[in-house]
Amino acid sequence: MKERPVLGSLALLLSLQCPAALAALAAGDGLAGCWKGESMVQVLKDGTSQSAKFGANACLTRSSGGRIRSSCPVQGGTSEIEYAYRVVRPGAYDATMTAHSLRPDLVGIRRIYEYRIADERLYITTYPQTTTPAPPTLAVRFESVSRKVACDGP
- What pLDDT digit, counting tens, does each position of 79-100 carry? 999 999 877 888 887 889 999 9
Q: Where are the domains of the chain?
A: 3-149
Q: Taking Cα atoms as reference points, which of 131, 71, 81 lies closest to residue 101? A: 81
Alpha-carbon distance of 96 to 20, in angstroms, equals 8
pTM: 0.74
- What pLDDT digit, counting tens, does each position of 107-154 carry? 998 988 888 888 888 888 988 876 667 677 777 889 999 999 998 765
Q: Taking Cα atoms as reference points, which of 112, 105, 107 lies closest to residue 129? A: 112
Class of domain 3-149: mainly beta
